[in-house]
Amino acid sequence: MSLFDPLPSYQVTSRDKTLDLSQPHVMGILNVTPDSFSDGGQFSALDSALTHAKEMIAAGASIIDIGGESTRPNAAAVSTDEEMQRVVPVVKAIRQHIGNDVWLSIDTSNPIVMQAAFEAGADIWNDVRALKREGAAVMAAKLDIPVMLMHMRGEPTTMNSLAQYDDVMKDVGAELTVCIDEATGLGVKREKIIIDPGFGFAKNYEHHCALLGQLERLQTLKLPMMFGISRKRFLAEVLSKSGVEAVATTQAIERDAVGTAAGLFALQQGASIIRTHNVAMMQQAVALWQQLSAYNQS
């Protein structure tokens, strides 16, 4: 596979909008939670969340991913009402102040939260549990909304103990296929599905190395792919093994350069959406890839 092959020709629709996934998109992370591993509490106030969304859009984000419940290991559960109070006002504020052009994704597994967010103007459902909660797939079919189905085993509280694979690429592909079949069996349209290999969820260092080096194998599912590794533990492990003392110990916010490199590797293997905390840095890498891709195809 060439480093500059064009992305697969996919698109998804939400209401009267179409997202062209034959071009790369940067998805900016907007955590409106007090306890997210990287930026918990920074954007939980409505005005700061809106300001950060504007900054990410100005930096090149075409999708904003809004999350009201942390899925880090051992994170505290959040009630439906609390999650709605965190997420829905942000969706309304972005629509009021920024307009309808930006795509809004909701990082939730709760179908009630998703319905309220959709009614407020959200476009995409990003579900780390792949619509496995009761009523989720039926709700996705009812809303006729694009859904991101992520590979994970168990729950965030149990996933680390389930990180055992015979062949991680083969197993992730097979388990994503089951999720896809279950969702479509309950009415979700296949053309509404985006897959996420689930970096950081039920996988160790070796699994991440295998996945990142062979992501193109997931193209056999013939669905668009979202890639999210921003600031995660695997990146810290990479830096700790680098032999360079200056980067051997990092805080989450200090991993954006290595995360951007990983995002570029994913883009080269067919990922259409790169989810990141640092939109400006990722957008620079995307610009380089797009221009080299165009040059090599001319």
From the CB of residue 187, how many other CB atoms can be counted at a distance below 10 Å?
A: 13
d(CA 12, CA 75) in angstroms, rounded, equals: 32
**In this structure, are residues 55 and 39 in contact, taking their beta carbons and an 8 Å threshold?**
no
Stretch (H or E) spanning 105? strand 103-107
**In this structure, are residues 222 and 42 in contact, taking their beta carbons and an 8 Å threshold?**
no
**DSSP code per residue over 111-150:** HHHHHHHHHHT--EEEETTTT-STTHHHHHHHHT--EEEE
Annotated catalytic residues are 232, 275
- State the DSSP code for 221: G
d(CA 133, CA 152) in angstroms, rounded, equals: 13
